[in-house]
Structures are given as C-alpha cells and as structure tokens.
Amino acid sequence: MKTLAVLPVICCGPATEPLSEQERDELAARFKALADPTRVAIVNRLAAAEEVCVCDLTETFELSQPTILFVCRQNAGRSQMAQALYERRGGSARSAGTTPAEHVHPEVAELMPELADRVPKRLEQADAEWAEVVVTMGCGDACPVIPGKRYVDWDLQDPAGEDLETVRRIRDEIERRVAELPVD
C-alpha cells in the first residue's frame, strides 16, 4: 500500500491578505457556474467540433431562443433582413413596420432574393405581446412599449434607395447583431 505525503498548501504568500467574505462568495459563485452540467456539456461540445451553430446547441441541450420581433418604419428592409437572418439561426421571429411599404425594397430583394415575395406588415399590439424581445430599428415613439418585455434599439441606416454595396454592409451589420442576440 502506498502512502501519500501530505504537502503543505501554499496559495498565498506571507504578505497576502486572506479573501474577504464578499470575495469568497464571488469566487464560489464563479466555480458553481463553471460546474453547471449544461455549461460543461456546452464547453465539451464546442471543444469537440470545428464549427458549431447556436441552433446546434439549442437542439442538443433542449434550450430555446427567445421569440423576437424586429420593427422598423416600413418593414421593407432592416426588419425583414433581421427576421430572415434570425430564422436562419433557428430562432422564432416576426417583423413589422409602423408605416409598412407596399413591398420589400428592390435593393434588399436583390441582395436577399428570399425576401422578394414577402409583404410588409403593419405593427400590431399582438406582435409585441407575442415577443419576448423587441428589436427596434428607427421606428421611434411609434413602437409599443409593453412592461416586462426586453427592448433593444439598433441604430441602423435605412437601405431604401441605397446601392447594393451599402445594402450589403447594412445586412452584414444586422447579421453581426443577430448573432449577438440572447439564447434565453
């Protein structure tokens, strides 16, 4: 039978003060969060894959993305692009406008052909009630405010009448922001 030698624990130098109660509590909370089984499983999944989409994680761990309402003035550009990009990630979204246009802006439809047949819709109270998160993009005071909802305002240029390169830049910025939206 082997005997293990007990080594003295040296974690603090002689001039180091012990942790305060608050520091101990904060450190304990961090370690507790790190030990969460779902978090450990997510880290293991990320480490094992070359490329992982958020939707892969939501399916694997039975997580859900929040329902999101994207709102702009005409529902013909920014909000339509945001809805499509969020849905590509596996999320549930709607889009609407405070003063909807007749059709999706042609330059937006050229860049994202899947939007060409969409019909812009008017923002309704029911849309805001359905959503857990409301992302506004230039609709100002016309957007309904419902207590208990999370609101995010994106200051984005309107793509209407812009050249294709400008619309692409706007779309790329929307895509970057959509990727940062919460997963619950």
pLDDT tens readout for residues 18-31? 778 887 777 667 66
pLDDT tens readout for residues 161-173? 999 999 999 999 9
Residues shown for the chain:
184
Does 83 reside within a domain? Answer: yes
Does 165 reside within a domain? Answer: yes
Does 55 reside within a domain? Answer: no
- State the residue range of the domain holding 92: 68-179
Does 167 reside within a domain? Answer: yes
Does 101 reside within a domain? Answer: yes
pLDDT tens readout for residues 51-65? 666 555 555 665 567
Does 79 reside within a domain? Answer: yes
pLDDT reported for residue 90:
85
Contacts of 75 (CB under 8 A, 6+ apart): 95, 96, 97, 100, 101, 120, 121, 122, 123
Q: 43-57 b/e with 16+ CB inside 10 Å = b?
A: eeeeeeeeeeeeeeb
- CATH number, domain containing residue 84: 3.40.50.2300
Q: How far apart are CA 89 and CA 64, in angstroms?
A: 11
Does 159 reside within a domain? Answer: yes
Q: How many domains does the chain have?
A: 1
Integer-rounded Cα radius of gyration of the chain = 24
Does 87 reside within a domain? Answer: yes
